[in-house]
Every structure is written in C-alpha cells, then in structure tokens.
Amino acid sequence: MKKKIAVLPGDGIGPEVIEQAIKVLDAIGDRFNHQFEYCFADVGGVAIDKTGNPLPDETLETCLNTDAVLFGAIGHPKFDNDPSLKVRPEQGLLRMRKELGLFANIRPVTTYKKLLHLSPLKEDKVAGVDLVIYRELTSGIYFGERGTSENSAFDTCFYTVEEIERIAHAAFQAAMKRRKILTLVDKANVLDTSRLWRSRVQKMAAEYPEVTLNFMYVDNAAMQLIQYPKQFDVVLTSNMFGDILSDEASVLTGSMGLLPSASIGLKTSVFEPIHGSFPQAAGEDVANPMAAILSAAMMLDEFGLQKEARIIRTTIKHVLEKGIGTPELNARITLSCSQVGDMLAHLIAEDISLDIGEDRLAEKISTII
C-alpha cells in the first residue's frame, strides 16, 4: 500500500515523539511492503514564530492533499496566561478541526496490567477498564455564536440534527465492534441541545438493536468515571463535555503518555497523542513516545491495515509487561524516548519477541538499541 502522510510535529515534545512514530511506521513499511511518504509542515507555536499564523495555508494545503495527518502537539507557556494575545497556537488546532471537518474525536482508554499501580485509583477499580470516548469536535459551544461587550460576554451551544447523527452513527458502529454498550452523556435536565441529542440518539437506537443505550447526565458521569469506570464501553458526548471528560478519563489508567487519539474527518483524518506539548521535557529525550506510536497505529487501522496496527499494539503491550519504559513509568528498565522508538522499530521490523529470561533482558536490549 502507498500512503501520503502529512506530519505536523508542532511544539514541545511533539517533534521527538513523532520522530519515533515515524521509525515504527517505517518498520511496518519494511516488513509488510508498504510505502509511506511523509510531508512535513508547521503548526502551533513554531508556525507562529515562523509565519505569524498557527496554521499556515501551506500546512492546510498539505493536510488536504494527503491521506492522513500525524500530529504531535501544540502549545508553549509563552502563549499562556495572557488573554490579550491575538494569535495563539490553539487557534490553529480549532481551524484545522473546522477546515478538515474533524467531527469525531476518538479517545480510547486502555489499561496495562503492569502500570495499574500508577493509577490514582485503587487497582481493583481500574483493572480491566476499556472504554472509548466519542467527542463531537466541530460544533457546540466551541464554534457557536459568541461576543463580548464592555461588561458581558457570551458563547452559544448550537447543534444540528445532522451534526448529532453523524457522530452518533460512528459511536453506535464502534459499540457494535466492542461490548455493545453506548452511554450518551449530556445535560438534558437543563439544556435544549442535550434534549435534541437524547431524542435523536434514542431514535437511532432502533437501527442498532444489539447495542444497549444508556443516558447519563454529565455531572454524574464525571463521578461515575471515578467510582466505577468499568461500566463504560463507548461514551458519546458533545464537544465541551467531551473535552472535560476525556481529560478525566485519560488519567484513570496511570499513564497519559500511552494514550492516542484519532479525529475522524470529512476530508483528512488526524492522529495525535493526547499528552500535549509538555514544554518542560522538550528536547530532553525523556518523553514517552508510545502515545504517538499508538496514534500511528490508529492511523493504520483507518487505512484498513488492522493486522499492522495490532502488531504495534501487542509489541507495546509486550514491552510494558517486560517492565521496559520511559522514566515516568518507573519501569525496571528505563529507556529514553529515542531508545523506545529504536527498540519498537527493531522488534517490529525483524519480528523479534522479547520472550527470554529477565536476567538476559537488559543484555538483549543493549544489542537492539
């Protein structure tokens, strides 16, 4: 297979984790005879510094002319804490979402046995958690009418039936492939938009008779995610609620550095680790590249390369089970960001397993990286 991929490394640790994802994609390419062509472009703070625009037109062009976008992270402290700034990295992200029609943001939350002790929750609460959030990404209060006058300001939450139904279909379809439980999270006791979501989603449920549909108010969902996260399979929600709940969900499993995301578009889809730019660690070669690598795996799924995607996921799982990881995981064998990339690429390209005694593991790794 031949695919053209737009690569937008962005700010902070974005470039270093994306570099590792590319190593792994190339390993997949070598082993399975696929050709991935990369088209690099600027986004976020680096793009502002170079052009004054967080999403330059050439970058958008590149995204529109490729099969997928691999995105690092955006954001830098110099743009934070100054509400008077007219140009900020986030504007690039929001414009990209709108221009590419990225209506569904998908964030899977997976647990890894070896890392359960890093969770802020008790291990028995979090063991076996396997959920995915479907967040609407191009409408709602993020994109509604807004305004500011001298002593007031307003933002509007607005949804059309079409916007609700397209993401709801995607979420129902995901539920069909999983445990067949869909939870719509809203605030239907207060908001008209939520009542519209409920009535449309309820009607759509007739097309998916095997899926159990639950409704949950967002305040309760915030609580239930902590108290009993295992109950969730697919969570469907609007833009703002999804923003908040996906951050909450991302810390359940103990390592945010492992969580990927996909934003499915009407044009080109975007694949991005959820950890953000983490500027304190930029250039230190300590960031965990696994979220970026798992985002590349989600991209392969989207290309129809399920087997290749699965190989990436199982290799990462295997490496973690062996107690190997970046510093924040407190692993038995600590590697740098680039060493994790080198090792995963090597294991995947050569189809090597690390099934050897623990005493020989460090020695074996040293021959690989």
Residues that bind ligand IPM (CB under 6 A): 90, 93, 243
Task: Assess contact for 310 and 298: CB atoms under 8 A.
Answer: no
Beta carbons within 10 angstroms of residue 284's beta carbon? 13
Q: Round to whole Å and give the CA distance between 50 and 27.
A: 32
Q: Which residue's CB comes closest to Mn ion?
A: 243
162 binds, among Mn ion, ligand IPM, none (CB under 5 to 8 A by kind): none
List b or e across 187-196, with b for residues whose CB sees 16 or more CB atoms inside 10 angstroms.
bbeeeebbeb
* 187 catalytic per annotation: yes
Beta carbons within 10 angstroms of residue 208's beta carbon? 18
Which C-beta is closer to ligand IPM: that of 62 or that of 238? 238
Pick the piece of the chain touching Mn ion (CB under 5 A) from 109-117, 157-165, 243-251, 335-343: 243-251
Note every long-range contact of 26-33, with CB atoms under 8 Å and residues 24 or more positions apart, other chains counting: 26/345, 27/344, 27/345, 27/346, 27/348, 27/349, 28/300, 28/305, 28/308, 28/311, 28/312, 28/348, 30/349, 31/348, 31/349, 31/351, 32/305, 32/308
Q: How do 269-273 and 260-265 pair as beta strands?
A: antiparallel
* 3 catalytic per annotation: no
| Cα 86 versus chain centre, distance | 27
Beta carbons within 10 angstroms of residue 150's beta carbon? 5
* 26 catalytic per annotation: no
67 binds, among ligand IPM, Mn ion, none (CB under 5 to 8 A by kind): none
Task: Assess contact for 237 and 136: CB atoms under 8 A.
Answer: yes
132 binds, among ligand IPM, Mn ion, none (CB under 5 to 8 A by kind): none
Which C-beta is closer to ligand IPM: that of 18 or that of 343? 18
Candidate list 49, 80, 247, 351, residue with the active-site label: 247
Which C-beta is closer to Mn ion: that of 187 or that of 275? 275
Which C-beta is closer to ligand IPM: that of 79 or that of 172? 79
Which C-beta is closer to ligand IPM: that of 165 or that of 243? 243
Pick the piece of the chain touching Mn ion (CB under 5 A) from 104-112, 235-243, 305-313, 319-327: 235-243
Q: Round to whole Å and give the CA distance between 132 and 65.
A: 29
Which residues, 6+ apart, have CB-to-CB distance to 184 below 8 Å?
Answer: 168, 197, 198, 201, 213, 214, 215, 216, 236, 237
93 binds, among Mn ion, ligand IPM, none (CB under 5 to 8 A by kind): ligand IPM
90 binds, among Mn ion, ligand IPM, none (CB under 5 to 8 A by kind): ligand IPM
* 80 catalytic per annotation: no
Which residues, 6+ apart, have CB-to-CB distance to 146 below 8 Å?
Answer: 153, 154, 155, 156
Closest approach of ligand IPM to the CB of residue 70, in Å? 16
Q: Which residue's CB comes closest to ligand IPM?
A: 90
Told to check if 243 binds Mn ion by CB under 5 A, we report yes
Candidate list 192, 219, 228, 351, residue with the active-site label: 219
Task: Assess contact for 82 and 47: CB atoms under 8 A.
Answer: no
Closest approach of Mn ion to the CB of residue 96, in Å? 15
Candidate list 187, 208, 233, 322, residue with the active-site label: 187
Closest approach of ligand IPM to the CB of residue 3, in Å? 24
Candidate list 3, 42, 112, 142, residue with the active-site label: 142
Told to check if 328 binds Mn ion by CB under 5 A, we report no
Which C-beta is closer to ligand IPM: that of 93 or that of 296? 93
Task: Please tell me the count of residues contacting Mn ion according to CB under 5 A.
Answer: 1
Which C-beta is closer to Mn ion: that of 243 or that of 328? 243
Alpha helices in 101-238 (DSSP H): 123-126, 161-177, 192-204, 218-227
Catalytic residues: 142, 187, 219, 243, 247
Residues that bind Mn ion in the complex, under the rule CB under 5 A: 243
